[in-house]
Amino acid sequence: MSSTHPPTDPRATVFALPACRSAKAAAVLVAEDERFFTELRECLAAEMAAVDSRLATTRREAGQQGRDVLDREGPVAMERDQEIHRLTARHRDLQRYGLDLCLGRVIPLGGGAPRYIGRRGVSTADGRTLLVDWRSPGAEPFFAATHGDPRGLRSRRRYHWTAGRITDYWDEVFDRELLDSASGQQAEQAAFDDQSAFLASLGASRTDKMRDVLGTIAADQDAIIRADSAGALVVDGGPGTGKTVVALHRTAYLLYADPRLGHRRGGVLFIGPHRQYLSYVGDVLPSLGEEGVLTTTLRDLVPEGVRAQAETDPQVARWKGDADVSAIVDAAVRFHEDPPTDDLVIETDWRDHVVTAADWAAASAAVRETGVPHNEAREPILNEIVDILLPKDDVDGGDVEVGEQRRALRRHRDLRATLHRAWPMIEATDLIGDLWTVRAYLRRCAPDWDNARVDALQRREPTAWTVADLPWLDAACRRLGDSQIADRRRRRAADEQSRERAMSDVVDHLMASDDTELQVMSMFRIDDMRAALIEDDPDDSPRDRFAGPFAHVVVDEAQELTRAEWQMLLARCPSQSFTIAGDRAQSRVDTDGPWTHRLTAAGFRQVREHTLTINYRTPEEVMEMAAPVILAAVPDATVPVSVRRSGRPVHCARLAELDQVVRDWLRENDDGVACVIGAADYSPPSTRVRSLDPLTVKGLEFDLVVLVDPDEPLVADPEHHRARAVDRYVAMTRSTGELVMVSR
């Protein structure tokens, strides 16, 4: 989404208006902007030079001082690395945009100098603000002003940038008296073809990346973007209403405006419907100055998701999705937590100890209350047993001897062997595989389920994972924890001893070769100074960067998520701060009630809902044909109202004409992207043409959509009827310009 920067010559104009808009190039309309952009160009050049200079100096210092072991391992080096990272990020940001950082300007109702709004804030060397960051409160009127509520503005101007030059702009005047007194002449230096650039941007050719729409955020969208982060906020709306736009820009806004959501405070996780979608929107957040947001799909949250297949039985999928997964998984794990019921005599050099059944039960219960995962609970349970057998205030034999007794008990073979049998290590895949292949096990763990459900969920192959299994595997991973933690702890202890020995050798060498008058190296006889030289490695266990916890989670195309999948996401965000975008009418399965009901049932405590009703993407010609398709299957669907016509009616063709339709479009259009939907064996003749199925086009948009086989009869089965209708509706409404319906 970055652009080519405009000429660096300070005398060059930033305006490149075509002949048909030559009237807009009048000096009375653009002179003030020209002066502003000249100053902005100089300010950005100075900032780039300062960043480059500081970055070069910092890197040079790192190279010069990096040979000094004290500096390399000390806090100074860490601060320098952080500064290099910050400066590098700033350099990338300055390179991404030039003058096209500026989105537009506003003039207050009382008159005065224009206030210019940008993708980020820019100030002069003396602290004067040139560009107001779009996320700041001072920029809100630029997006929120309407003729009904002008937000204290007299006028607003938006720029349309092409390759770093302004190729159009449009003005909106909110002062009615000013409009009435204009008498057909230019009013307060405003150009009145106020929809030209806006409509042009809606109908502009697409690429394989989501286009930049920050400058055309509508007032209803902006209100949702700036809503606070408390609880779950649902953005509901039909195709083309800007749900994805809102979700992405809200992410950037919250990271800027809400200190609780910063990357060092949990950060944000963004969930998309499929990987093609993530690639499509991948440039949006970086273009808004946010590069630290983690993006993924629900499937990719679990390792087994890579090869998971769709659940073939809809009823089985529904049962797995509606279940209280955490409760059943917890019961399945507890089945394997079996504290001994017999006394165990532990013989030591000091005395014999007896571990009773009550001792085992008390130790196990105490550790369970702490929430330690099953596989990571052995050592804590062992410590609890030792505390029971040898209380900390037991000073018999002296403190040193008590410490030796504790170590002897923790290492005692019989005690550890008994604990390992009572508390076995379990893999998540084994646990869930057993539920689906051992009927009695599932029956015990889900006592409220009837025999028909238990029987239906049984299968022959335990690891034949389906998408409906993923929340179960995820819950099992969280409940069980790391099964290799004991081995890793032993390896880490050995590594620490090895590092300490190596560092002792280094310190001995430094002290032996120290010929300074003050004998500086003698400071390393102090334990704290020796420890400072050893690299801090507190935990070498594998870390799942998608495990959380996160401060905020954004979910797009969320209409089909099940209760189990919502719980999977709630486990990653204890604060329950969510942005949820979706359209209930685009769900292939009949959803259970409104958003509030569904999310509350999944465990959300606070749910707000906003509805978008204006379709900015899909032309009227396409919506006129798509609306009856969805209303026939989902009578209460909210069909959005399109704001424009493309002038190209929906065209029908035969399958034999498919390739010719695509090639004719390529020949007539030098840019833009097309998609053939529903023809799995079709080979696109160009990289500008893709061939996808209806499930992988959600969230995407194309200049041309060719939908194959739309006339296949819809069967009587209500569920299949809805799924087929939704697939058609979703596919048809991906078009931003032209739709061709191909029948076999």
Task: Quote the CA–CA distance of 117 and 114 in Å, as a whole number.
Answer: 10
User: For the chain, how many residues are written?
Assistant: 744
256: closest CA among 351, 133, 160? Answer: 133
| Residue 258 near residue 234, CB atoms below 8 Å | no
**DSSP class per residue in 255-323:** HHH-GGGSGGGT-EEEEESSHHHHHHTTTHHHHTT----EEEESGGGSGGGGTPBPPS-HHHHHHHHHS
- For residue 357, the tally of other CB atoms under 10 A from its CB is 13
- Distances, alpha carbon 260 to alpha carbons 227, 230, 246, in Å: 15, 11, 20
Query: Residue 470: which residues within 8 A CB-CB, separation 6 or more?
Result: 298, 299, 301, 302, 304, 305, 308, 565, 568
| Residue 445 near residue 340, CB atoms below 8 Å | no
Letter string b/e over residues 153-165, b meaning 16 or more CB atoms within 10 A of that residue's CB: bbbbbbbbbeebb
- β-strand pairing of 122-123 with 641-642: unpaired
| Residue 292 near residue 251, CB atoms below 8 Å | no
Is 244 annotated as belonging to a binding site?
yes
| Residue 30 near residue 114, CB atoms below 8 Å | no
| Residue 681 near residue 714, CB atoms below 8 Å | no
For CA atoms 252, 258, 261, 262, give the dihedral sign.
Answer: positive
Structure tokens at 714: 């819809």
Is 237 annotated as belonging to a binding site?
yes
- For residue 277, the tally of other CB atoms under 10 A from its CB is 21
Count of CA atoms in the C-beta half-sphere (13 A) of 738: 21
DSSP class of 353:
E
The C-alpha angle 182, 186, 187, rounded to 5 degrees, equals 55
Tell me, what amino acid is at 744?
Answer: R
Query: Residue 463: which residues within 8 A CB-CB, separation 6 or more?
Result: 429, 433
Is 209 annotated as belonging to a binding site?
no
Q: Scan for tokens 């199925």, then name that residue.
A: 693
**DSSP class per residue in 455-510:** HHT--S-TT--BGGGHHHHHHHHHHH--TTHHHHHHHHHHHHHHHHHHHHHHHHHH
Query: Exposure of 424 by Cβ count < 10 A (0-12 exposed, 13-18 middle, 19+ buried)?
Result: middle
Is 684 annotated as belonging to a binding site?
no
Q: Which parts of 490-621 are beta strand (E)? A: 552-555, 578-582, 607-612, 614-615
Is 240 annotated as belonging to a binding site?
yes
| Residue 443 near residue 391, CB atoms below 8 Å | no
CA 368 to chain centre: 32
Structure tokens at 413: 């073979």
Kind and range of the H or E run holding 400: helix 399-411
Kind and range of the H or E run holding 220: helix 219-225
Is 251 annotated as belonging to a binding site?
no
Collapsing DSSP states into helix, strand and coil, what is residue 604?
A: coil
H-assigned helices in 571-690: 595-602, 620-633, 658-668
216: closest CA among 185, 258, 173, 170? Answer: 170
- β-strand pairing of 344-347 with 352-355: antiparallel
Binding residues: 237-244
Binding residues for ATP: 237-244
